[in-house]
Amino acid sequence: MTVPLAERLRTATRELHRSVERAGLMPALLRGQLPRADYLLLLRNLHALYEALESGLARHADHPQLAPLQLPALARAGALAADLDALHGAGWAPALPLCAATRAYVDRLRLLADRRPPLLAAHAYVRYLGDLNGGQVLARLVGQGLQLAPGQGVAFYDFGAAEQVAACSRAFRAGLDGIAPDEAAAQALVDEACDAFVRHRELFEQLQRPTAGH
Ligand code: HEM
Please report which confidence band the pLDDT of residue 114 belongs to, taking 50, 70 and 90 as the band edges.
Answer: very high
The response to whether residue 17 sits with its C-beta less than 6 Å from ligand 1 reads yes
Query: Residue 213 has what pLDDT?
Result: 45
Decide if 73 contacts 79 (C-beta within 8 A): no
Query: Residue 210 has what pLDDT?
Result: 60
Q: Find the CATH number of the domain harbouring 155.
A: 1.20.910.10
What are the tens digits of pLDDT across the range 123-181?
Answer: 999 999 999 998 888 888 998 888 888 888 999 999 999 999 999 999 999 999 999 99
Query: Residue 212 has what pLDDT?
Result: 46
Domain count within the chain: 1
**What percentage of the chain has pLDDT greater than the value 90?**
86
For ligand 1, the distance from its centroid to the CA atom of residue 94, given in whole angstroms, is 30
Query: Residue 85 has what pLDDT?
Result: 97
Distance of CA 106 to the CA centre of its chain: 12
Query: Residue 20 has what pLDDT?
Result: 96
Query: Residue 1 has what pLDDT?
Result: 56
Average of per-residue pLDDT across 2-7: 94
Query: Residue 63 has what pLDDT?
Result: 97
The response to whether residue 21 sits with its C-beta less than 6 Å from ligand 1 reads yes
Query: Residue 150 has what pLDDT?
Result: 86
Q: For atom 28 of ligand 1, which residue has the closest CA?
A: 130
Average of per-residue pLDDT across 27-51: 95
How many whole angstroms separate alpha carbon 6 and alpha carbon 132?
Answer: 15
For ligand 1, the distance from its centroid to the CA atom of residue 214, given in whole angstroms, is 27
Query: Residue 55 has what pLDDT?
Result: 98
Query: Residue 182 has what pLDDT?
Result: 96
Q: Report the predicted TM-score, pTM, of the whole model to 2 decimal places.
A: 0.95
The response to whether residue 9 sits with its C-beta less than 6 Å from ligand 1 reads yes
What are the tens digits of pLDDT across the range 72-93?
Answer: 999 999 999 999 999 999 999 9
Average of per-residue pLDDT across 191-201: 98
- Which among 155, 130, 127, 7 has a CA at the least distance from the CA of 57? 127
User: Which of 11, 129, 133 best tests ligand 1's pocket when mutated (most atoms within 8 Å of CB)?
Assistant: 133
Query: Residue 136 has what pLDDT?
Result: 81
- Residue 207 DSSP symbol: H
Distance of CA 186 to the CA centre of its chain: 20
Residue 68 domain boundaries: 5-213
- Which among 212, 207, 202, 211 has a CA at the least distance from the CA of 35? 207
Angle at 110 between CA 105 and CA 114, to 5 degrees: 145
Please, where are the H alpha helices in the chain? 5-21, 26-30, 36-59, 77-87, 92-95, 100-115, 120-124, 130-145, 162-176, 183-208
